[in-house]
């Protein structure tokens, strides 16, 4: 059989195919995806689930003029492949290669940049209203998963869109999975919508009518009424002011193409419910969609992943601590906004299911829910990625910190994260946390200190945060006792002359290396807030140069805290602040990216030498 995929370098070429050729294209696309991701790593299961939907969307809609807005964007590999980036897939998420998410700068087909979830309906609504204002006959389509639909932002957008007449299509890609199994009342509701005879009847009805029909407006109207007739009482989405259509089988290209063609003729807010399977067509991913949500390299013949080093990651150190601390204190409640596995809560979930809460993709709610628990004397621990905590900033300030509530934030993925790139980098948390009154902000130099800081934050009677990076630390032995560190106290790790390097968290190790040839003093500052002012002033008095190093934006970061401290004490001295520059850092291998930012031992040494000379 000749390859169809190789002929498709744009949606325009795809639209030249006959409809009956599309299943072959889907097969080829799926095989290509598996092979390609097995070599690069990346998000696999969600992509396998949207192969047919992506083909149908580009087949029916006039992309790029019609706007496809993918939610999260981790499921856009088929979209990238069909929009001229098949050859670039070998460089996926590598430095200089294409991104793992849609990027407006990467392709005209990437209508909106994403990485964080639940933005698609708002953005697509903006585009639909924009088209209206400009007098353009353009369609805007938001494609959102059932997991992403659990976020408040999605509902804010539905609420707004349902009361407007913009030509917006929302496609709910319902695979009954978030990264882990999806949770919550909405998920239960969707399951009910799909359950039993109702769904069977609907599928038969929808297929019968749509499968044979040309995409005429009249027919579409009748189809809608037909579907609605079967869907009494109105669905939640109809109550929000949308025309609800579906559920339809998201792997049946005939149904997809016919339905989308009809919907494209309709005006006003439309809602299409599509049912797909995460990992579709690749047995290992169908069997374990959570594992294949995001994978490293693997053997495509059997799905076996490349073995790790065996060294525990910070995430695992946190996971062990959480289980131990929960055993020691029954007031502990563990909360995750849909990142059980990524944040390392699996062990805790298994041991203490009644104290485990996956709240869905709802970072804002996670924080305020924790605040409520804290009001009742419980001890909530919110495990959250640095980048996703950005979403819950007001809740942290207004609900947690202002009331000085004892909520512990276990902030994973602080600093550069590598392949996911700037949407997921934790570049700002030190800056945005240290300006909040009442906060204690800690950055461990190694895994052992991480465990101690988690205990310290947990026992502290107020809001506290421990920020640690993705992956492994120095590999030091971890003392399993639940010891604490003194709040606001740093330590001198190396004594030298002339130059004092004040290092925070992950930068302590490279600072120590850099200090060797410079014979510099190195302090492990441990606390961004409260900063060890006495130590800062002592080091300032004993040295000619102060250098701060952190894996966070220089602007407003820990170095700024040191600068403010020196200024407040009236100390005038040479101060060099090292950290992330004032630009977004692209995807790539974290070590290389850090080196490019001058945040490896060599970079720190060179920067100091330059300053000295």
> CB of residue 363 vs ligand TPP: minimum separation in angstroms?
6
Query: Which of 252, 254, 420, 449 is close enough to bind ligand DXP by CB under 6 A?
Result: 420
In contact, 292 and 303? CB cutoff 8 Å? yes
In contact, 245 and 227? CB cutoff 8 Å? yes
Four-residue CA torsion sign, 10, 12, 13, 14 = positive
Residue 338 within binding range of ligand TPP, rule CB under 6 A: yes
Query: Which of 73, 147, 246, 444 is close enough to bind Mg ion by CB under 5 A?
Result: 147
In contact, 333 and 355? CB cutoff 8 Å? yes
The full 3-state SS of 236-282, as one line of letters, equals HHHHCCCEEEEEEECCCHHHHHHHHHHHHCCCCCEEEEEECCCCCCC
Is residue 372 marked as binding?
Answer: no
Catalytic residue among 363, 449, 550, 551: 363
Catalytic residue among 203, 280, 391, 467: 391
Give the residue from 437, 444, 442 showing the smallest Cα distance to 465.
Answer: 442
Residue 129 within binding range of ligand TPP, rule CB under 6 A: no
> CB of residue 176 vs ligand TPP: minimum separation in angstroms?
8
Give the residue from 86, 99, 79 showing the smallest Cα distance to 420.
Answer: 99
Residue 70 within binding range of ligand TPP, rule CB under 6 A: no
CA 533 vs CA 354, 499, 540, 566, 574: distances in Å: 42, 18, 10, 9, 17
Choice between 421 and 457, CB closer to ligand DXP? 421
> Is-catalytic flag, 516?
no
Show contacts with ligand DXP in window 338-367 (CB under 6 A).
Answer: 342
x-marked contacts with ligand TPP along 531-570 as a string, rule CB under 6 A? ----------------------------------------
x-marked contacts with ligand TPP along 510-529 as a string, rule CB under 6 A? --------------------
Residue 247 within binding range of Mg ion, rule CB under 5 A: no
**From the list ligand TPP, Mg ion, ligand DXP, none, partner contacted by residue 187 (C-beta under 5 to 8 A by kind):** none
Choice between 139 and 278, CB closer to ligand TPP? 278
Is residue 477 marked as binding?
Answer: no
> Is-catalytic flag, 529?
no
Q: Which stretch binds ligand TPP (CB under 6 A): 33-41, 139-147, 219-227, 233-241?
A: 139-147
- Please provide residue 237's backbone torsions phi and psi, each rounded to the nearest 5 degrees: -70, -30
Residues in the chain: 613
In contact, 503 and 522? CB cutoff 8 Å? yes
Query: Which of 203, 470, 526, 587 is close enough to bind ligand DXP by CB under 6 A?
Result: 470
Choice between 186 and 402, CB closer to Mg ion? 186
Beta strands 545-553 and 521-524, pairing class = unpaired
**Cβ-proximal residue to ligand DXP, closest one:** 342
> Is-catalytic flag, 30?
no
Catalytic residue among 30, 67, 139, 278: 278
Four-residue CA torsion sign, 381, 384, 389, 392 = negative
Query: Which of 42, 147, 250, 463 is close enough to bind ligand TPP by CB under 6 A?
Result: 147
Distance CA 39, CA 314 (A): 26
294 contact partners, CB below 8 Å, separation of at least 6: 41, 42, 43, 44, 74, 179
Is residue 268 marked as binding?
Answer: no
Cβ burial, residue 345 (10 Å; 0-12/13-18/19+)? buried
| Number of chain residues interacting with ligand TPP (CB under 6 A) | 22
Residue 417 within binding range of ligand DXP, rule CB under 6 A: yes
Q: What is the dihedral of CA 480, 483, 485, 487, to 10 degrees?
A: 130
Residues in touch with ligand TPP (CB under 6 A)? 46, 49, 72, 74-75, 116-117, 145-148, 175, 177-179, 278, 338-339, 361, 363, 388, 391
Specify binding-site residues for Mg(2+). 146, 175
Catalytic residues: 278, 363, 391
Residues that bind ligand DXP (CB under 6 A): 72, 74, 179, 293-294, 342, 413, 417, 420, 424, 470
């Amino acid at each position: 059989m000749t390859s169809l995929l190789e002929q498709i370098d744009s949606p325009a070429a795809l639209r030249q195919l006959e409809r009956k050729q599309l299943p072959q294209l889907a097969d080829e696309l799926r095989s290509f995806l598996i092979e390609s991701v097995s070599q690069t790593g990346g998000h696999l299961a969600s992509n396998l689930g949207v192969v047919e939907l992506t083909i149908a969307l580009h087949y029916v809609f006039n992309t790029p003029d019609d706007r496809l807005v993918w939610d999260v964007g981790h499921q856009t590999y088929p979209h990238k492949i069909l929009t001229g980036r098949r050859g670039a897939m070998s460089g996926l998420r590598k430095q200089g290669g294409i991104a793992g998410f849609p990027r407006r700068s990467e392709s005209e087909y990437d209508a909106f940049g994403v990485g964080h979830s639940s933005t698609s309906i708002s953005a697509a609504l903006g585009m639909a209203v924009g088209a209206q204002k400009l007098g353009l006959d353009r369609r805007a389509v938001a494609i959102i998963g059932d997991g992403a639909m659990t976020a408040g932002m999605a509902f804010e957008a539905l609420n707004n869109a349902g009361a407007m007449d913009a030509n917006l299509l929302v496609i709910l890609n319902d695979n009954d999975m978030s990264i882990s199994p999806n949770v919550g009342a909405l998920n239960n509701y969707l399951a009910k919508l799909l359950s039993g005879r109702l769904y069977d009847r609907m599928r038969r009805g929808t297929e019968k009518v749509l499968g044979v029909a040309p995409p005429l407006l009249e027919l579409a109207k009748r189809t809608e009424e037909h579907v609605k007739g079967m869907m009494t009482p109105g669905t939640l989405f109809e109550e929000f002011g949308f025309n609800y259509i579906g559920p339809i089988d998201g792997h049946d290209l005939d149904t997809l193409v016919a339905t989308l063609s009809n919907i494209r003729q309709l005006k006003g807010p439309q809602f299409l419910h599509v049912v797909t399977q995460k990992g579709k067509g690749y047995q290992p991913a169908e069997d374990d969609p959570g594992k294949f949500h995001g994978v490293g390299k693997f053997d495509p013949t059997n799905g076996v992943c490349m073995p790790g080093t065996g060294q525990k990651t910070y995430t695992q150190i946190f996971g062990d601590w959480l289980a131990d601390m929960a055993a020691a204190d029954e007031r502990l409640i563990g909360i995750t906004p849909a990142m059980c596995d990524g944040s390392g809560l699996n062990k805790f979930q298994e041991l203490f299911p009644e104290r485990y809460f996956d709240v869905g993709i709802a970072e804002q709610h996670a924080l305020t829910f924790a605040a409520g628990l804290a009001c009742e004397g419980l001890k909530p621990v919110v495990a959250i990625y640095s980048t996703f905590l950005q979403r819950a900033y007001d809740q942290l300030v207004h609900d947690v910190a202002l009331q000085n509530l004892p909520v512990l934030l276990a902030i994973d993925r602080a600093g550069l994260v590598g392949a996911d790139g700037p949407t997921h980098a934790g570049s700002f948390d030190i800056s945005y946390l240290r300006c909040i009154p009442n906060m204690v902000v800690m950055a461990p130099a190694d895994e052992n200190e991480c465990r101690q800081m988690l205990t310290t934050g947990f026992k502290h009677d107020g809001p506290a945060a421990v920020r640690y990076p993705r992956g492994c630390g120095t590999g030091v032995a971890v003392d399993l006792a639940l010891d604490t560190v003194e709040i606001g106290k740093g330590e001198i790790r190396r004594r030298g002359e002339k130059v004092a390097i004040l290092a925070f968290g992950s930068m302590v190790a490279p600072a120590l290396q850099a200090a060797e040839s410079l014979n510099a003093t190195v302090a492990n500052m441990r606390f961004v807030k409260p900063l060890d002012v006495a130590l800062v002033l002592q080091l300032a008095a004993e040295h000619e140069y102060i250098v701060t190093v952190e894996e966070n934006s220089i602007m407003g970061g820990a170095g700024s805290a040191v600068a403010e401290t020196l200024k407040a004490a009236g100390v005038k001295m040479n101060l060099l602040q090292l950290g992330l520059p004032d630009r977004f850092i692209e995807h790539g291998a974290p070590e290389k990216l850090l080196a490019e930012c001058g945040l490896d031992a060599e970079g720190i040494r060179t920067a100091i030498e330059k300053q000295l000379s």
